[in-house]
Amino acid sequence: MVVCSCNAIRERDVREAARSGAGCPIQAYASLGRRPRCGQCLPFARELIAEERAAAA
Ligand code: FES
């Protein structure tokens, strides 16, 4: 599933970035060499990152 259509970032990419230490969507996107544009995806990306971090804790 695509999380960020501006950057074609998939849910799997965001989850992997979170598991690799990204604590917020900006860090996750930066680790993929991208950055937020319209910002519409940020709430969902934040949720995914929170889920991954909770699962890892
Ligand atoms: S959908 Fe992610 S920045 Fe636009």
* Predicted confidence (pLDDT) per residue in 18-42, tens digit: 999 999 999 999 999 999 999 999 9
Q: Ligand 1: does its nearest atom lie under 6 Å from the Cβ of 39?
A: yes
Whether pLDDT at 10 is above 90: yes
* Whole-prediction pTM: 0.94
The set of residues, in sequence order, having a beta carbon less than 8 Å from that of 29 and lying 6+ positions away, is: 4, 7, 9, 17, 35, 36, 45
Q: What is the mean pLDDT of the chain?
A: 97
C-alpha 54 – ligand 1 centre gap (Å): 24
Q: Ligand 1: does its nearest atom lie under 6 Å from the Cβ of 41?
A: yes
What proportion of the chain, given as a percentage, has pLDDT over 90? 96
Range of the domain at 18: 2-56
Query: Measured between alpha carbons, how far is 10 from 29 in angstroms, rounded to an integer?
Result: 11
Q: How many domains does the chain have?
A: 1
